[in-house]
């Protein structure tokens, strides 16, 4: 169950997206564990980076596909929650195009393709810093009850 | 590029799967980072477990979907490499059915659905320890050059 | 919008699945256009057949993948509506493993993998009559308002 | 097995895409069966239309999702063969966003997202004539041996 803060959310869509992203990221220990950074965020969009560390390699000594997916999935989460409606991933699909190696800086860029009712579709491209795409991710989102910011439940002090 | 060892691989398919799994897991720092354990392994099959830690939670305070994916993806990797042919993920798809919370013990079970030429399809179900399924993953594998065990290239001392 | 009949639906799950399937198939001109036949049906399951005709071939002179998909999608529809709750496809994924040629008899078999709330996941395997699998399909269903049988709206005479 | 013609293919990429498309479409009885039309074609791109006929409706009296998929899949085929290398679909994924009804004119537009070695990824959006998107399709292509045009095998008279 998502908790919410009692901060009053901004009304400007860009400021709202930034405030939601900052709030989510502080609580998102998973994205922090992998050293992700939010490069930019906006309504329906987000851009994250992650550097491939030695402890992110798999048995083939390339970056574990799960961490490339996790970067894309976090980027998806920031994009689909950017309008402050609590939203979760229902299904995701990823095509791995090229491997990533230790030390590589990966960039994920999310774009909203569709948003109708409670369902959305988002495309996230994961690239090397030089622009070569290494994975294409498509996520289907489902809005759930609640807001990320400003809908302070009693259980929060 | 996958490196290989110069260990002579067993000929019995079950013993081979176990030896390959043990070898891969030792080198798979990513799966170790998330605290995964191989519960069992066999030709075309694998069973892994992972306990959801506090640093695996996302901004909604549930287990980051990327780590559920990563567990399934590791399970997929152990299953599709179990015949000792170096094999990587080409594409994966996951449906998230229910959330996982801090402290939950998750079990991933992989099953080979198809293997023809260099391409395979594997289904991985991720469940709670009590049997409730929380995610269904389907992975498409692509065999690459080389073996996991016993095909020692010159570059290895 | 799905219309419904004013037939009183059976209470036995197997008889209900058969009655729903018969009712749906009569109205399903698309499945009839492709010459599909229901081989069997049950709660959460269905088995359909289709013979590849000359007018189902694509520019490579093999069966158009869209028709293999359509066979699987019909099989999915009969399985996910078999409990008489009106249900539609939200998303589908197909892996093409081998081609089908003119004259081939194709069999699709659906199996329910998950059903929770309004969402379900179904796996459909498409095979040659001799058992070789040619495609693996996974469909995500979403229950909508209404029943297939027995919920007669005023607009029906 | 794809046959080829002994026509000498154009060298200009746009003229080549058009010649390949015309040649494929003439032989593609499946796309003709559904009344599709090529609206435009180019290197890595294609635009097709299809009008929903009464015999394309399913048991819910909306256009069978299989035919929406087939339109997208044909569009994918014209785009991924447009450089004259024989190419087939390996896997496809579709999200259904809104239904299509009898009489609707549907437009599919394909865009190449990635092409590396023998593998490509293509996105196809299916829309109503007024621009509302009803389905998002992603296809993974695999180049096989042979050319569509100009590589006349002996078996052809």
Q: Whole domain around residue B44: which residue ranges?
A: 13-147
- Confidence band (pLDDT; 50, 70, 90) for B153? very low
pLDDT tens-digit profile of A122-147?
Answer: 999 999 999 999 999 999 999 999 99
Would residue C7 count as lying in a domain?
no
pLDDT for the residue A5: 52
Chain B environment of D93 (Cβ under 8 Å): 93
Q: What pLDDT is attached to residue D85?
A: 96
Query: For B138, which residue in chain C has the nearest alpha carbon?
Result: C138
Check pLDDT > 80 for residue B46.
Answer: yes
pLDDT surpasses 50 at A155: no
Select from D32, D59, D89 the Cβ nearest to the Cβ of C27. Answer: D59
Task: Determine, yes or no, domain membership for D127.
Answer: yes
Give the pairing of strands A85-96 and B133-147.
unpaired
**Is residue C2 included in any domain, yes or no?**
no
State the best of C113, C135, C140 to mutate against chain B, taking most chain B CBs within 10 Å: C113
In tens, the pLDDT along C9-61 reads: 999 999 999 999 999 999 999 999 999 999 999 999 999 999 999 999 998 89
Q: What is the pLDDT of residue A1?
A: 43
**pLDDT confidence band for A150 (50 / 70 / 90):** confident
Structure tokens belonging to residue D63:
């256009």
For residue B134, give the CATH number of its domain: 3.10.129.10
pLDDT above 50 (res C153): no
- How high is the pLDDT of residue B60? 87
What is d(CA A120, CA A116) in angstroms, rounded to the nearest whole number?
A: 6
Average pLDDT over residues B44-71: 96
Query: Is residue C5 a part of any domain in this protein?
Result: no
- pTM confidence score: 0.92
Q: How far apart are CA A12 and CA C154, in angstroms?
A: 47
Question: Which among D122, A139, D92 has a CA at the least distance from the CA of B95?
Answer: A139
Residue D7 confidence (pLDDT): 59
Q: What separation in angstroms does the CA of B57 have from each of B92, C125, D124?
A: 22, 36, 34
Q: Tell me if ipTM is over 0.85.
A: yes
Collect all residues of chain B within an 8 Å Cβ-Cβ radius of residue C113: 133, 136
- Give the closest-approach CA distance of A48 to chain C in angstroms: 27
Place of tokens 């040649």: D23
Tens of pLDDT along C122-144?
Answer: 999 999 999 999 999 999 999 99
Residue listed under structure tokens 């990635």: D114
pLDDT at A153: 46
pLDDT digits (tens, 9 = 90+) for A77-117: 999 999 999 999 999 999 999 999 999 999 999 999 999 99
Segments of chain D with pLDDT less than 50:
1-3, 152-157
In a domain, A6, yes or no: no
pLDDT for the residue numbered D1: 43
| % of residues, chain C, pLDDT over 70 | 91
Instruction: Say whether residue D88 is in contact with chain B using an 8 A CB cutoff.
Output: no
Question: Does residue A28 belong to any structural domain of this protein?
Answer: yes
Orientation of helix C13-27 relative to helix C65-80, angle to 10°: 140
Domain contains B72: yes
**CA-to-CA distance for B45 and B22, rounded, in angstroms?**
14
Residues of C in contact with D31 (CB under 8 A): 58, 64
* % of chain A at pLDDT higher than 90: 87
B97 has a pLDDT exceeding 70: yes
**Chain B interface includes A46 (CB < 8 A):** no
Q: Which of D49, D53, D116, D117 is nearest to D78 (CA)?
A: D49
Mean pLDDT, residues C65-70: 98
Quote the DSSP letter at residue B54.
Answer: G
The band of B6, judged by pLDDT with boundaries at 50, 70 and 90, is low
pLDDT category at B75 given cuts 50, 70, 90 is very high
Burial code (b: 16+ CB inside 10 Å, e: under 16) for A29-48 equals bbbebbebebeebbebbbbb
Q: For residue range A31-40, list pLDDT tens digits in order.
A: 999 999 999 9
Q: Which of C24, C94, C99 sits opposite D91 (nearest CB)?
A: C94
* Residue among A95, A114, A136 minimizing CB distance to D133: A114
Number of domain units in chain B: 1
- pLDDT computed for residue D153 by the predictor: 45
- CB-based contact, A100 to chain B, within 8 Å: no
Q: Which residue of A has its CA nearest to C139?
A: A91
Q: In chain C, what residues touch D94 (CB-CB under 8 Å)?
A: 91-93
In a domain, residue C154? The reply is no
Edge-to-edge strands, sheet with B133-147: A37-42, A45-51, A105-116, A119-128, A133-147, A85-96, B85-96, B133-147, B119-128, B105-116, B45-51, B37-42
| Burial of residue D111 (number of CB atoms within 10 Å: 0-12, 13-18, 19+) | middle
Q: What is the mean pLDDT of chain C?
A: 92
In which order are the strands placed within the sheet that holds D133-147?
C37-42, C45-51, C105-116, C119-128, C133-147, C85-96, D85-96, D133-147, D119-128, D105-116, D45-51, D37-42
Q: In whole numbers, what is the pLDDT of chain D averaged over residues? A: 92
């Amino acid at each position: 169950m998502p908790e919410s803060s009692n901060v009053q959310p901004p009304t400007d869509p860009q400021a709202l997206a930034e405030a939601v992203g900052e709030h989510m990221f502080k609580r998102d220990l998973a994205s922090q564990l992998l050293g992700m950074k939010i490069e930019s965020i906006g309504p329906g969009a987000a851009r994250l980076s992650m550097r491939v560390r030695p402890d992110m390699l798999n048995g083939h000594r390339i970056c574990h596909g799960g961490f490339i997916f996790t970067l894309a999935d976090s980027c998806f989460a920031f994009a689909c929650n950017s309008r402050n409606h609590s939203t979760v991933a229902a299904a995701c699909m990823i095509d791995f195009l090229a491997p990533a190696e230790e030390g590589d800086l990966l960039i994920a860029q999310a774009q909203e393709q569709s948003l109708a009712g409670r369902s959305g579709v988002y495309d996230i491209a994961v690239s090397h810093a030089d622009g070569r795409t290494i994975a294409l991710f498509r996520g289907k989102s489902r809005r759930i009850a609640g807001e990320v910011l400003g809908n302070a439940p009693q259980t929060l002090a």
